[in-house]
Amino acid sequence: MQGLLYDISPKLTPRTAVFPGDTPLSQDVLLSFKSGQHLMLSALKGTVHLGAHADAPCHYSPDGEDISQRELRRYLGLCQVVSVNMHQPGRILCAHVNAAE
C-alpha cells in the first residue's frame, strides 16, 4: 500500500458518547505509585461500541458473520472524512452527512 495513513480515531474519554443505555468508558486504578505501590495498574471498562469501530454483521443480523470471518480488505480503501455537527445527541442520519459535504 502506498500513500499516507491517518488515524482519525477519536480520543476516548469518560465523556465519549455511547448508545443510550450502553456502558461509558471508565478506569479503575488498582495499584498506583501515589498510593505507595511498585507499579501503576488499572482496568478499563466500556462498551465495544465506543468511538470509531466497525460492526460485524452478526451485530445487526441473526445470520451475520462474526468479525473474524470478515476479510480485512473490506475495511481498507478510499474514504472521505466529514465533520457532522450535532446540536444535541442523537442518531446521525444521511441528511446530516449530506449537509456536511
Residues 61-89 have pLDDT tens digits of 999 999 999 998 888 888 778 888 777 77
Cα dihedral 66, 71, 72, 76 sign: negative
> What is the tens place of the pLDDT at every residue in 26-35?
999 999 999 9
> Does this model's pTM top 0.85?
no
Least confident stretch, 34-38, 39-43, 58-62, 94-98: 94-98
More confident position, 29 or 4? 29
In 32-89, the DSSP E strands lie at: 41-45
Catalytic residue ranges:
59
- State the residue for C-alpha cell 488498582: 30
